[in-house]
Amino acid sequence: MTETVKIISPIDGSVYAERAAASWAEIDAAVSRAKAARRGWGEVTVAERAKMMGHFVDALLAMNEEIVPELAWQMGRPVRYGGEKRGVEERARHMIEIAQASLVPVEKPEKAGFWRYITREALGTVMVIAPWNYPFLTAVNSIVPGLMAGNTIILKHASQTLLAGERFAQASQQAGLPDGVFQNLVLGHADTEKLIGSGAIDHVNFTGSVEGGRRIEKAAAGTFATLGLELGGKDPAYVRADANLDHAVENLVDGSFFNSGQSCCGVERIYVDARIHDGFVERFVEAAKGWTLGNPLDAGTVVGPMARGSFADHVRGQTADAVRDGARRHLNGTHARDKAGSPYLAPEVLTQVNHQMSVMREESFGPVVGIMKVGDDAEAIGLMNDSPYGLTASIWTADLDAAARIGTRIETGTVFANRCDYLDPGLVWTGVKDTGKGGALSEIGYANLTQPKSYHLKHG
């Protein structure tokens, strides 16, 4: 019996789309096509790949009017935001632009009688396991540089956003990529793990939960496949006494509630200098009132439903536990659909919180943020590090030297000053602790998608 994968829309609980999962024979055939395509694709020059990948990006961007409502139906993001077009283009074009310099052989200093250099060669077949929260942005991080580096790609997209995988496949066809270079497969968890464990995959790039990352590592054990894992997060912000409050509030409200809080680097906890705490909270709560919940297909909706009711219930549980233990709710948002089991969850701001509460230490991945008063930099740093995760941290201050100094003491992959919830493709995207391993984008992203090879040639 053929397994099917269904997209249950958070808008109304209907089955938005349904696809048959690939059989093992189809999976095996895809692996064979990828392997057969590797040599030919590797012989294509970087300049020629760049031209084809430019067409790939053009084709993907041209679909945006169709993609935007598809995203709303699949994972709940309001149509007002226009999809992920701008970020996809920025990241993809940057990685295409720097490919030549990132992949060029490195000549070593002259040594009498020898010619020495290091090249970067494709790893082989790269499997990209993409998440539903930013189904295009997260996948582009690996697909574009992976292909530019000469790898073949097998994409397994999240069941919640299967149509994103199909859009990538359409773009691949329209760009004229050779057969087998890029393939999109609909897979269940068991076959995904079986494929990884088969030894046919040379690198896995996974974005998802910590538990999912552990399963990937377990499946890959003994295959010697390399891994890139971006897992959980609990990203903090620290607002110092000299911060521009209006700027900090505007950006931190957005960083907390955009995409219903379902952002890898969304702000989940805020520490504020005691001298400005009350004023910050007052402004933050007032600004947050404008982030109203509604149907994501309505142009006026600011916050849509979460992807699944179970995700919203997790956040409801964290909030209820915090309130029971003394936290104060400031919004008490109400909406006809905001009830147990529903993916519709209004944003919430909590104060009088502490690190005994799960809402301040464990991932929420939803529209709730805790704000906590701190006495100085040292206390803020200690609290920011009191988490098993480390993706990004933001510092809000007029003193960039202080931000850089504080940043050296924060256990995180990226340090922001006076901004948050953004990914600069010129910088490596990485995490520490339970957030994962490896790094995407920038020239380091290319290093992680290639194998170094040395040439030590002696003159005869």
DSSP 107-139: EPPPBTTEEEEEEEEE-SEEEEEE-SSSTTHHH
The pLDDT of residue 337 is: 80
The pLDDT tens digits of the residues spanning 294-326 come to 999 999 999 999 999 999 999 999 999 999 999
Annotated catalytic residue within 70, 84, 264, 420 = 264
* CB 124, CB 202: distance < 8 Å: yes
Which amino acid would we find at residue 121?
E
pTM of the full structure:
0.96
230 is catalytic: yes
Helices (H) and strands (E) in the chain, counts: 14, 22
**What is the rounded end-to-end Cα distance, in angstroms, of the chain?**
64
The pLDDT of residue 2 is: 73
CA quadruple 277, 278, 283, 286: dihedral positive or negative? positive
Residue 157 φ then ψ, to 5°: -90, 160
Nearest to 249 by CA among 236, 239, 260: 239
Residues of the chain with CATH 3.40.309.10: 235-424
- Alpha helices of 221-276 — where are they, by DSSP H? 245-257
Cα(382)–Cα(359) distance, integer angstroms:
17
Residue 282 φ then ψ, to 5°: -60, -45
The pLDDT of residue 1 is: 60
Residue 60 φ then ψ, to 5°: -65, -45
Cα(411)–Cα(391) distance, integer angstroms:
8
Cα(7)–Cα(268) distance, integer angstroms:
27
Q: How would you class 446 by CB atoms within 10 Å of its CB: exposed for 0-12, middle for 13-18, buried for 19 or more?
A: buried
Residue 161 φ then ψ, to 5°: -130, 45
Positions of the chain with pLDDT under 70: 1, 333-336
Annotated catalytic residue within 84, 230, 348, 363 = 230
* CB 165, CB 157: distance < 8 Å: yes
Residues of the chain with CATH 3.40.605.10: 4-231+435-458
The pLDDT of residue 332 is: 78
Which amino acid would we find at residue 323?
V
The pLDDT of residue 336 is: 67
* CB 293, CB 260: distance < 8 Å: no
The pLDDT of residue 334 is: 67
How many CB atoms within 10 Å of residue 350? 23
Two structure tokens written together for 52: 């084809």
Rounded to a whole number of angstroms, the CA Rg of the chain reads 23
The CATH class that applies to domain 235-424 reads alpha beta
Q: CATH fold of 4-231+435-458, please?
A: Aldehyde Dehydrogenase; Chain A, domain 1 (3.40.605)
Two structure tokens written together for 10: 């958070």
264 is catalytic: yes
Cα(258)–Cα(421) distance, integer angstroms:
9
